[in-house]
Amino acid sequence: MRVQILKPVSTVNGTLTYTNILSDKMKLLNIDTKSVIYNKNKFALLHVLKNISPNYDIIHVQNLYLQPLIASIMASFLYNEKVVVTAHGPGSWNKNLVERRLARIVLSRVGAIISVSKWVDKKISNHVPRDVPKFVIYPGVDTSTFNPYLYYDFSEDKLGLKDKKVILFVGRLVKIKGIVTLLEAFSRLTYRDSVLLVCGTGRLLISLKKMVHDLKLDDKVIFKGRVPHGILPKYYALCDMCVVPSLFESFGLVVLEAMSMKKPVVATNVGGIPEIIKNNINGLLVKPNDTDALAEAMDKVLQDQRLGIRLGTNARRDIERNFNLDRMIQQTASVYKYVMRS
């Protein structure tokens, strides 16, 4: 089987990681893959049409952008290829009547739609004709790479973190990721012997550094910038807790990675996150944009070592059972086979 995977060049980190893993791991199942990367601009349709190749079996579109969807349907008629779509979130067209109707027409012609969470599946259900097969396949994490039992030669001394409790944030520095709420909550912790390690870049960086200075947290917040995905396990390994304070999250790959590293996670009860975290069992859930609730949950983990160990142990167990990478790849390959038989 041969699959072309369409993805936007400016895709966010979670989707980029997902598609890169998909392209790489499908080869283990003897599925040949090719990536078609495009810019999200007015020429996207032409660019995609130009770069989609004949002699493939499936065109797998990542996300619900209209132009690549239309191009994929056109190419499927030209080359007799099937189309599979993975919805990483609700389509941006769902607020526009004309685009909604056009999307419904286009989606009626795809072979299958995969949603990364039940929350996404529910959000798009009104825009997808009932006779189009739909599947929910949770993204998986490579538990052999994000493995708490591996030793990482990564000294806390180099970061000035020795004898400190480390709180980790991984994500884009944008409002929707809840980083402002996290800094406010961090400033209110009653447990003072802790540092906040921020891995990521974004347009809020300058204002966040000013905020840190105004809160007198310069010696307690470390901005590490963009950290390559292959290095992230080292940062998870040295942290005592990972916080995901998002205001919106279709699923939450960072949640999976931290849980796979056997770390307690404090996250917001939004989008697909509650499908991963069961409150007080394998992590803690709080309301989004609630500074006091977030600070209280973080303090709870920092002050109760047994709680952190219990949450982390349960988290790793659940990742191994329900969110491992092999499961995601096998389920996606099964959708490919289903579509080819249809």
Q: Please state the φ and ψ torsions of residue 254, each to the nearest 5 degrees.
A: -60, -40
The position carrying tokens 């086979």 is 337
Using an 8 Å Cβ cutoff, are 288 and 245 in contact?
yes
The position carrying tokens 């970061």 is 159
> Rounded to an integer, what distance in angstroms lies between the CA atom of residue 222 and that of residue 293?
23
List residues bridging with 298 in a β-sheet.
Answer: none
CA 184 to chain centre: 24
The position carrying tokens 């591996």 is 150
pTM for this prediction: 0.89
Using an 8 Å Cβ cutoff, are 62 and 40 in contact?
no
Class of 2-140+324-341 in CATH: alpha beta
Inter-CA distances, 167 with 155, 191, 215, 305, Å? 16, 12, 17, 14
The ranges assigned to domains in the chain are 2-140+324-341, 156-322
Inter-CA distances, 304 with 136, 220, 257, 300, Å? 36, 21, 22, 6
Superfamily of domain 156-322: Glycogen Phosphorylase B; (3.40.50.2000)
More confident residue, 282 or 159: 282
Strands, sheet with 194-199, edge to edge from the N-terminal-most edge strand: 221-225, 194-199, 165-170, 241-244, 265-268, 284-286
pLDDT higher than 60, residue 156 = no
pLDDT, average across residues 184-203: 93
> Rounded to an integer, what distance in angstroms lies between the CA atom of residue 67 and that of residue 41?
9
Q: Write down the pLDDT at residue 133.
A: 94
> Rounded to an integer, what distance in angstroms lies between the CA atom of residue 50 and that of residue 46?
6
pLDDT, average across residues 17-21: 82
Strands 284-286 and 32-38: unpaired
Inter-CA distances, 87 with 123, 133, 224, 238, 323, Å? 10, 13, 31, 33, 18
Q: Do domains 2-140+324-341 and 156-322 have the same CATH topology?
A: yes
pLDDT, average across residues 212-231: 92
pLDDT digits (tens, 9 = 90+) for 162-172: 778 999 999 99
pLDDT higher than 70, residue 95 = no
What DSSP designation does 306 have?
Answer: H
